[in-house]
Every structure is written in C-alpha cells, then in structure tokens.
Amino acid sequence: MSAPPNLHFQDLRPPAADFRAAVLEGLGRRPRSLSPKFFYDARGSALFDAITRLPEYYPTRTEIALLRRHGAEMARLIGHDALLIELGSGSDVKIRVLLDALRPRAYMPLDISHEHLWRSARAIAADHPALAVHALCTDYTRPFALPAAVLGLRRAAFYPGSSIGNFEPAQAQRLLRAIGALLGPDGRLLIGVDLKKDPARLHAAYNDRDGVTARFNLNLLERMRSELGAEVDPGGFRHHAFYDAEAGRIEMHLIANCAQTLVVDGCRFDFAAGEGIHTENSYKFDVAEFAALSAAAGFDTLQVWQDEEGLFSVHGLAVARPS
Ligand code: AVJ
C-alpha cells in the first residue's frame, strides 16, 4: 500500500549510536541498567503487542474498555477540532476507539518504533481521508517541533498505556510539565495510569505463563547482538520481574544464570552468576497519588475513570492557569 495523501511522516528516530552509547554507559554503571525505551525495535514492538493480548496482562484490555465505555465523556473533555497528539502511539487500536467521538482536526502520533508507527499511521490516514495525520518518529522525552500546518490549532494529548509509569516520579513530573508547556493554555491531556492492586495480580501480569514477557525482556540482548554486533549469549540470562510494594513499582531485570561475559565495541562486561541488568520500572499509582503528581506538574484533574475492579484508570487533565 502506498502512502495516502493525508499522511505526513517525519523520521527523527534516534540514531543507532544512541543505543550503543546507552549500552556502554548502562553496563558500565552499578547497578547496571538500560532504559526501557530500547525494548521497542521491530521485534520488541511485536512482542509488546503479543503481551497486550495475554490473559494475565490486564492493562491494555481494561484501558480499551474504559475508552469504549466513556469515550463520549472523554471527547467532551477534549473538545472537537483540536490537534490531537498521541505519545507512544504504538499500535492504533486505542486511538481508533476514540477518533469518531473526538473528531480532531489533525492527528499527530509520536512513537520511537519506526515500523510500528508507519504501519498504524498509514492505516489511520487511509481510513480517515479527511483527517490530516502528521506522524513523527521520535523519542518523545526529547523536545520536538510541531509541523507548521498545525500551529494554529488548539492542542490536546492522549498518552495511553501507563507508559508514564516507566519514569521515576521526578522525571515523570518533568515530562508532564513539558507536555503541559507544549499543550499551552486550555490544553487537555487524557492519560492512562495503572493502579496499585493485589501484588499477585501485578506479578502475574509481568510473569506470564507463555514467557512472552521474558522474550520481550531478553530481546534487549538480541538487539545488542544484531544491532551492535555485541558478543552475548541471551540463553545465559533469565527474565526476573517482581513487585516492590514499598516503591510501588514493578521492576524487570535480566539476570545471569551463571558467569557471563558481554563484549560491546571491544569493551568487556563481566557478570557473576546472579548479577543482572535493571531494564524497566513500571510505577503503579492510586488515583489520589497520580492526581498529586499531575498537580505538581501544573495540571488540574477534571475527571478520572476506572473499571469496577479498580485495575486501571484514565485521568482527564487540563493545563492549570497560572495562579
Ligand atoms: C505499558 C510500556 C508501561 O509497564 O506495563 C509490559 C511495558 N513491560 N510488560 C508496562 C511492559 C513488561 C509497559 N508499558
């Protein structure tokens, strides 16, 4: 399929050198760590899609159910004819639920995963010929410019999936503040936030029976091999995920089963058995906790939707007027 005329695609994807530098830096530090944004190469994005369909992984289907049930209310909060910016759009399933109710003037999906963004933006543009789709492949934690064609429009953002939980609270606050600055006065933000709950339920969501989450985590090592030419045996590592109730977060790690040596660019990294790489945090929030975080970042909470089981929430926020 060729590109529909209403699709504009800008490729500002981070250079491969970013991954190389992050790996060298992250493996050199103690504790060793890597940002979860590096999960999303083509294979990692496909594995993440598989995660969203797992019986244990409740966030995606719960959030979609909330969008279906309350989409009209959410649309009222955002208003029609806005520029709708979607952060970390990934697949297009969620925005499709909202699009008819929201009736934006222009839609700007942002994602770090090139193939994923291209496929979903093209499909949305083809199915909505009157909608201007300005896709931008980028790391949305970095500053980015809006295309000139959309500068006059009122702005709203959709940030689904509880990806905000991947950031340390102080970092999350900074990112929310940057989103607020981008949206400007009267800006609206719909954001998905995973809720605190029974640790067993959380544990299961990140330790699925089929091992898809394990493959997703271990894919970071595959990516080091294929993209950086690293010497590493992914079979020598295992997936480890647990809920830290005190910190209110899931942690994911890659743990060496026995002594391992990883070589990147001639740099050697030795792992003793049981040593690992911290690959992800996924913070969980009570409704009041997240409202406090967004307030500290300059947002008023207008409305919060959650399912009956209290698994997942969507917060409807407005950029607060300066007091
Ligand atoms: C939706 C990207 C925040 O923490 O649930 C799923 C990704 N990691 N399983 C999450 C993820 C492991 C995820 N985010």
Over residues 202-206, mean pLDDT:
98
Give the position, in ligand 1's atom list, of the atom nearest the Cα of 217.
12
Cβ partners under 8 Å of residue 115, min gap 6: 42, 45
DSSP annotation of 163: G
The per-residue pLDDT for range 103-135, each reduced to its tens digit, is: 999 999 999 888 889 999 999 999 999 999 999
pLDDT over 70, % of the chain? 99
Residue-level pLDDT at 3: 87
Over residues 220-226, mean pLDDT:
97
- Interval between CA 313 and ligand 1 midpoint (Å): 15
Q: Is residue 90 scored above 80 in pLDDT? A: no
Give the position, in ligand 1's atom list, of the atom nearest the Cα of 194.
5
pLDDT over 90, % of the chain? 91
Task: Return the structure tokens found at 54.
Answer: 């797992």
Residue-level pLDDT at 16: 80
pTM: 0.96
The CB of 163 under 6 Å from ligand 1? The reply is yes
Question: What is the residue-averaged pLDDT of the chain?
Answer: 95
Residue 158 binned pLDDT confidence (cut-offs 50, 70, 90): very high
Give the position, in ligand 1's atom list, of the atom nearest the Cα of 60.
1
Over residues 254-270, mean pLDDT:
97
Residue reference for tokens 């699925």 = 208
